[in-house]
Structure 1
Amino acid sequence: MGITRFGVSVPDELLERFDRIIAERGYVNRSEAIRDMMRDFIVRHEWETGEGDVAGTITIVYNHDEADVVRELLDLQHEYIDEIVSSLHVHMDAHNCLEVVVVRGKASRVKEIAERLISLKGVKHGKLVMTTTGRELV
Protein backbone atom coordinates (compact mmCIF):
# COMPACT_ATOMS: atom_id res chain seq x y z
CA MET A 1 0.00 0.00 0.00
CA GLY A 2 1.57 3.26 -1.12
CA ILE A 3 1.03 6.70 0.29
CA THR A 4 0.03 9.67 -1.89
CA ARG A 5 0.48 13.24 -0.77
CA PHE A 6 -1.87 15.89 -2.12
CA GLY A 7 -2.61 19.53 -1.40
CA VAL A 8 -5.95 21.05 -0.48
CA SER A 9 -6.84 24.74 -0.58
CA VAL A 10 -9.25 25.87 2.15
CA PRO A 11 -10.13 29.18 3.76
CA ASP A 12 -8.07 30.00 6.87
CA GLU A 13 -11.12 30.10 9.14
CA LEU A 14 -12.23 26.64 8.01
CA LEU A 15 -8.78 25.20 8.68
CA GLU A 16 -8.63 26.83 12.13
CA ARG A 17 -11.99 25.31 13.10
CA PHE A 18 -10.93 21.94 11.72
CA ASP A 19 -7.67 22.02 13.68
CA ARG A 20 -9.52 22.86 16.92
CA ILE A 21 -11.94 19.98 16.45
CA ILE A 22 -9.33 17.38 15.57
CA ALA A 23 -7.27 18.46 18.59
CA GLU A 24 -10.36 18.08 20.83
CA ARG A 25 -10.90 14.58 19.45
CA GLY A 26 -7.29 13.58 20.02
CA TYR A 27 -5.99 13.30 16.46
CA VAL A 28 -2.22 13.63 16.29
CA ASN A 29 -2.30 15.27 12.85
CA ARG A 30 -4.57 16.40 10.00
CA SER A 31 -3.73 13.38 7.85
CA GLU A 32 -5.28 10.93 10.33
CA ALA A 33 -8.42 13.05 10.61
CA ILE A 34 -8.76 13.37 6.84
CA ARG A 35 -8.24 9.61 6.36
CA ASP A 36 -11.07 8.95 8.85
CA MET A 37 -13.31 11.43 7.02
CA MET A 38 -12.56 9.73 3.70
CA ARG A 39 -13.37 6.30 5.16
CA ASP A 40 -16.64 7.65 6.54
CA PHE A 41 -17.48 9.11 3.11
CA ILE A 42 -16.84 5.71 1.48
CA VAL A 43 -18.92 3.84 4.10
CA ARG A 44 -21.83 6.28 3.64
CA HIS A 45 -21.69 5.64 -0.09
CA GLU A 46 -21.95 1.88 0.55
CA TRP A 47 -25.10 2.49 2.63
CA GLU A 48 -26.67 4.80 0.06
CA THR A 49 -26.15 2.49 -2.90
CA GLY A 50 -27.59 -0.43 -0.96
CA GLU A 51 -25.29 -2.91 -2.67
CA GLY A 52 -22.30 -3.01 -0.35
CA ASP A 53 -21.97 -5.36 2.58
CA VAL A 54 -22.48 -3.50 5.84
CA ALA A 55 -22.65 -4.31 9.51
CA GLY A 56 -24.68 -2.48 12.08
CA THR A 57 -26.97 -2.37 15.05
CA ILE A 58 -30.68 -1.79 15.29
CA THR A 59 -31.60 -0.51 18.72
CA ILE A 60 -35.22 -0.39 19.78
CA VAL A 61 -37.05 0.46 22.99
CA TYR A 62 -40.48 -1.09 23.29
CA ASN A 63 -43.29 -1.76 25.72
CA HIS A 64 -43.39 -5.54 26.06
CA ASP A 65 -47.05 -5.35 27.22
CA GLU A 66 -48.12 -3.84 23.88
CA ALA A 67 -50.06 -6.16 21.56
CA ASP A 68 -47.90 -8.89 20.06
CA VAL A 69 -44.65 -6.93 19.89
CA VAL A 70 -42.52 -9.66 21.52
CA ARG A 71 -43.82 -12.40 19.22
CA GLU A 72 -43.49 -10.19 16.13
CA LEU A 73 -39.97 -9.20 17.17
CA LEU A 74 -38.95 -12.85 17.48
CA ASP A 75 -40.67 -13.79 14.21
CA LEU A 76 -38.80 -11.04 12.35
CA GLN A 77 -35.50 -12.13 13.85
CA HIS A 78 -36.10 -15.66 12.59
CA GLU A 79 -37.22 -14.40 9.18
CA TYR A 80 -33.89 -12.59 8.74
CA ILE A 81 -31.73 -15.30 10.29
CA ASP A 82 -29.03 -14.95 7.62
CA GLU A 83 -28.53 -11.24 8.39
CA ILE A 84 -29.09 -11.16 12.16
CA VAL A 85 -25.88 -12.09 13.90
CA SER A 86 -26.90 -11.58 17.52
CA SER A 87 -29.27 -9.73 19.80
CA LEU A 88 -29.15 -8.37 23.32
CA HIS A 89 -32.24 -7.91 25.47
CA VAL A 90 -32.29 -5.55 28.45
CA HIS A 91 -35.18 -5.00 30.88
CA MET A 92 -35.36 -1.24 31.42
CA ASP A 93 -38.23 -1.30 33.92
CA ALA A 94 -41.42 -3.27 34.58
CA HIS A 95 -42.81 -2.53 31.10
CA ASN A 96 -40.03 -1.30 28.81
CA CYS A 97 -37.30 -3.30 27.13
CA LEU A 98 -34.29 -2.38 25.05
CA GLU A 99 -33.27 -4.70 22.24
CA VAL A 100 -30.01 -4.36 20.31
CA VAL A 101 -29.92 -6.43 17.14
CA VAL A 102 -26.56 -6.89 15.41
CA VAL A 103 -26.92 -7.25 11.64
CA ARG A 104 -24.66 -7.92 8.65
CA GLY A 105 -25.50 -8.08 4.96
CA LYS A 106 -26.41 -5.95 1.95
CA ALA A 107 -27.19 -2.37 2.96
CA SER A 108 -30.64 -2.50 1.36
CA ARG A 109 -31.54 -5.64 3.30
CA VAL A 110 -30.23 -4.22 6.61
CA LYS A 111 -32.34 -1.06 6.08
CA GLU A 112 -35.37 -3.25 5.36
CA ILE A 113 -34.89 -5.16 8.63
CA ALA A 114 -34.51 -1.91 10.58
CA GLU A 115 -37.63 -0.38 9.06
CA ARG A 116 -39.68 -3.47 9.88
CA LEU A 117 -38.43 -3.67 13.47
CA ILE A 118 -38.78 0.03 14.19
CA SER A 119 -42.31 0.18 12.75
CA LEU A 120 -43.65 -2.63 14.95
CA LYS A 121 -46.60 -1.60 17.11
CA GLY A 122 -45.31 -1.10 20.64
CA VAL A 123 -41.87 0.16 19.61
CA LYS A 124 -41.39 3.57 21.22
CA HIS A 125 -38.09 4.46 19.57
CA GLY A 126 -35.64 2.86 17.22
CA LYS A 127 -32.42 3.65 15.45
CA LEU A 128 -30.24 1.98 12.85
CA VAL A 129 -26.49 2.53 12.99
CA MET A 130 -24.60 1.10 10.05
CA THR A 131 -20.90 0.75 9.53
CA THR A 132 -18.63 -1.18 7.23
CA THR A 133 -17.57 -4.77 7.54
CA GLY A 134 -14.03 -3.43 7.12
CA ARG A 135 -13.12 -5.72 4.23
CA GLU A 136 -13.04 -2.95 1.63
CA LEU A 137 -11.36 -0.22 3.68
CA VAL A 138 -7.68 0.53 3.99
Structure 2
Amino acid sequence: MRRITISVDEELAQQFDHLIERHGYENRSEAFRDLLRARIEEERKVSPYKALHGVATVTYIYNFNQRDLAARLAALQHDHHDLCVSATRVILDHNDCLETVILRGKFHEVDAFSKVLIAQNGVRHGSVHLVPLQLNTPSHASHHHHHFLPGS
Protein backbone atom coordinates (compact mmCIF):
# COMPACT_ATOMS: atom_id res chain seq x y z
CA MET A 1 0.00 0.00 0.00
CA ARG A 2 1.34 3.43 -0.93
CA ARG A 3 0.44 6.59 1.01
CA ILE A 4 -0.66 9.68 -0.94
CA THR A 5 -1.21 12.95 0.90
CA ILE A 6 -3.63 15.44 -0.62
CA SER A 7 -4.61 18.97 0.39
CA VAL A 8 -8.17 20.23 0.01
CA ASP A 9 -9.92 23.36 1.24
CA GLU A 10 -12.16 23.25 4.29
CA GLU A 11 -15.47 23.22 2.39
CA LEU A 12 -14.42 20.32 0.16
CA ALA A 13 -13.15 18.40 3.20
CA GLN A 14 -16.53 18.83 4.92
CA GLN A 15 -18.43 17.75 1.80
CA PHE A 16 -16.15 14.71 1.53
CA ASP A 17 -16.82 13.79 5.18
CA HIS A 18 -20.58 14.07 4.57
CA LEU A 19 -20.25 11.80 1.53
CA ILE A 20 -18.33 9.28 3.65
CA GLU A 21 -21.12 9.31 6.27
CA ARG A 22 -23.94 8.99 3.73
CA HIS A 23 -22.31 6.03 1.99
CA GLY A 24 -21.08 4.33 5.14
CA TYR A 25 -17.38 4.20 4.34
CA GLU A 26 -15.01 3.09 7.12
CA ASN A 27 -12.63 5.98 6.48
CA ARG A 28 -11.48 8.63 4.02
CA SER A 29 -8.98 6.34 2.33
CA GLU A 30 -11.62 3.78 1.45
CA ALA A 31 -13.90 6.50 0.04
CA PHE A 32 -11.08 8.12 -1.91
CA ARG A 33 -10.01 4.76 -3.42
CA ASP A 34 -13.60 4.21 -4.59
CA LEU A 35 -13.78 7.66 -6.18
CA LEU A 36 -10.43 7.12 -7.86
CA ARG A 37 -11.49 3.73 -9.24
CA ALA A 38 -14.74 5.21 -10.58
CA ARG A 39 -12.87 8.03 -12.32
CA ILE A 40 -10.30 5.64 -13.82
CA GLU A 41 -13.15 3.44 -15.06
CA GLU A 42 -14.77 6.49 -16.71
CA GLU A 43 -11.50 7.29 -18.47
CA ARG A 44 -11.08 3.66 -19.53
CA LYS A 45 -14.49 3.76 -21.18
CA VAL A 46 -13.62 6.60 -23.50
CA SER A 47 -10.10 5.86 -24.69
CA PRO A 48 -9.38 2.34 -25.99
CA TYR A 49 -13.01 1.62 -26.86
CA LYS A 50 -13.30 3.93 -29.88
CA ALA A 51 -13.91 1.13 -32.40
CA LEU A 52 -16.21 -0.95 -30.22
CA HIS A 53 -19.94 -0.79 -29.73
CA GLY A 54 -21.76 0.82 -26.88
CA VAL A 55 -25.15 1.42 -25.37
CA ALA A 56 -26.28 4.52 -23.50
CA THR A 57 -29.24 5.84 -21.62
CA VAL A 58 -29.55 9.60 -22.03
CA THR A 59 -31.97 11.28 -19.63
CA TYR A 60 -32.89 14.94 -19.51
CA ILE A 61 -35.67 17.39 -18.70
CA TYR A 62 -36.88 19.99 -21.17
CA ASN A 63 -39.67 22.54 -21.46
CA PHE A 64 -42.19 21.26 -23.99
CA ASN A 65 -43.43 24.80 -24.66
CA GLN A 66 -40.01 26.30 -25.26
CA ARG A 67 -39.89 27.49 -28.85
CA ASP A 68 -38.63 24.75 -31.23
CA LEU A 69 -36.98 22.71 -28.47
CA ALA A 70 -39.25 19.63 -28.62
CA ALA A 71 -39.11 19.67 -32.43
CA ARG A 72 -35.32 20.08 -32.39
CA LEU A 73 -34.88 17.11 -30.04
CA ALA A 74 -37.21 14.98 -32.18
CA ALA A 75 -35.39 16.01 -35.38
CA LEU A 76 -32.02 15.09 -33.85
CA GLN A 77 -33.37 11.66 -32.96
CA HIS A 78 -34.70 11.19 -36.50
CA ASP A 79 -31.33 12.24 -37.95
CA HIS A 80 -29.72 9.54 -35.79
CA HIS A 81 -32.42 6.88 -36.16
CA ASP A 82 -29.67 4.27 -36.65
CA LEU A 83 -28.52 4.91 -33.04
CA CYS A 84 -31.89 5.50 -31.34
CA VAL A 85 -33.39 2.30 -29.97
CA SER A 86 -36.21 3.99 -28.06
CA ALA A 87 -37.32 7.23 -26.48
CA THR A 88 -39.69 7.49 -23.53
CA ARG A 89 -41.24 10.79 -22.53
CA VAL A 90 -42.77 11.38 -19.12
CA ILE A 91 -44.91 14.51 -18.75
CA LEU A 92 -44.06 16.12 -15.41
CA ASP A 93 -46.36 19.17 -15.48
CA HIS A 94 -47.75 21.78 -17.93
CA ASN A 95 -44.28 22.61 -19.20
CA ASP A 96 -41.73 19.99 -18.30
CA CYS A 97 -41.04 16.61 -19.83
CA LEU A 98 -38.48 14.05 -18.78
CA GLU A 99 -37.15 12.06 -21.70
CA THR A 100 -34.97 8.96 -21.66
CA VAL A 101 -33.40 7.92 -24.95
CA ILE A 102 -31.67 4.57 -25.37
CA LEU A 103 -28.85 4.57 -27.90
CA ARG A 104 -26.92 1.68 -29.39
CA GLY A 105 -24.17 1.65 -31.99
CA LYS A 106 -20.49 2.39 -32.50
CA PHE A 107 -19.14 3.56 -29.16
CA HIS A 108 -17.77 6.89 -30.40
CA GLU A 109 -21.02 7.71 -32.26
CA VAL A 110 -23.19 6.88 -29.24
CA ASP A 111 -20.87 8.94 -27.02
CA ALA A 112 -20.91 11.94 -29.39
CA PHE A 113 -24.68 11.92 -29.96
CA SER A 114 -25.51 11.58 -26.25
CA LYS A 115 -23.44 14.72 -25.63
CA VAL A 116 -25.24 16.57 -28.45
CA LEU A 117 -28.65 15.78 -26.91
CA ILE A 118 -27.87 17.06 -23.43
CA ALA A 119 -26.01 20.10 -24.77
CA GLN A 120 -29.14 21.44 -26.49
CA ASN A 121 -30.12 24.90 -25.34
CA GLY A 122 -33.02 24.50 -22.87
CA VAL A 123 -32.18 20.91 -21.86
CA ARG A 124 -31.70 20.61 -18.08
CA HIS A 125 -30.48 17.87 -15.74
CA GLY A 126 -28.91 15.97 -18.61
CA SER A 127 -27.23 12.74 -17.65
CA VAL A 128 -25.62 10.00 -19.72
CA HIS A 129 -24.91 6.43 -18.66
CA LEU A 130 -22.60 4.96 -21.31
CA VAL A 131 -21.55 1.32 -21.37
CA PRO A 132 -18.94 -0.05 -23.78
CA LEU A 133 -19.77 -3.42 -25.33
CA GLN A 134 -17.36 -5.88 -26.82
CA LEU A 135 -19.39 -7.77 -29.37
CA ASN A 136 -17.33 -10.91 -29.86
CA THR A 137 -20.34 -12.98 -30.82
CA PRO A 138 -22.12 -12.49 -34.16
CA SER A 139 -24.83 -9.85 -33.91
CA HIS A 140 -28.45 -10.94 -33.76
CA ALA A 141 -29.08 -9.20 -37.08
CA SER A 142 -26.96 -11.73 -38.94
CA HIS A 143 -29.13 -14.57 -37.58
CA HIS A 144 -32.34 -12.92 -38.77
CA HIS A 145 -31.18 -12.86 -42.40
CA HIS A 146 -31.55 -16.64 -42.55
CA HIS A 147 -35.32 -16.35 -42.24
CA PHE A 148 -35.53 -14.48 -45.52
CA LEU A 149 -33.40 -16.85 -47.60
CA PRO A 150 -35.37 -18.93 -50.11
CA GLY A 151 -35.78 -22.52 -49.02
CA SER A 152 -34.72 -21.96 -45.41
Tell me the TM-score normalized by structure 1. Answer: 0.62
The question of whether the paired residues in 2 share the 8 Å contact of 1:46 and 1:53 is answered with no
Structure 1 spans left out of the alignment, 5+ residues: 1-9, 12-23, 25-36
- Which of the pair has more CA radius of gyration? 2
The aligned counterpart of 2:118 is 118
The aligned counterpart of 2:107 is 107
The aligned counterpart of 1:47 is 46
1:47 and 1:102 mapped to 2: Cα distance? 18
Structure 2 spans left out of the alignment, 5+ residues: 3-23, 25-36, 137-152
Q: CA deviation at 1:125?
A: 2.0
Q: CA deviation at 1:105?
A: 1.3
Tell me the TM-score normalized by structure 2. Answer: 0.57
Question: Sequence identity, in percent?
Answer: 28
Provide the alpha-carbon RMSD of the alignment: 2.4
The aligned counterpart of 2:145 is none
1:104 and 1:89 mapped to 2: Cα distance? 18
Q: CA deviation at 1:67?
A: 1.5
Say if 2:60 is the partner of 1:60. Answer: yes
1:108 and 1:135 mapped to 2: Cα distance? 15
Distance 1:47 1:105, change over 3 A: farther
The aligned counterpart of 1:16 is none
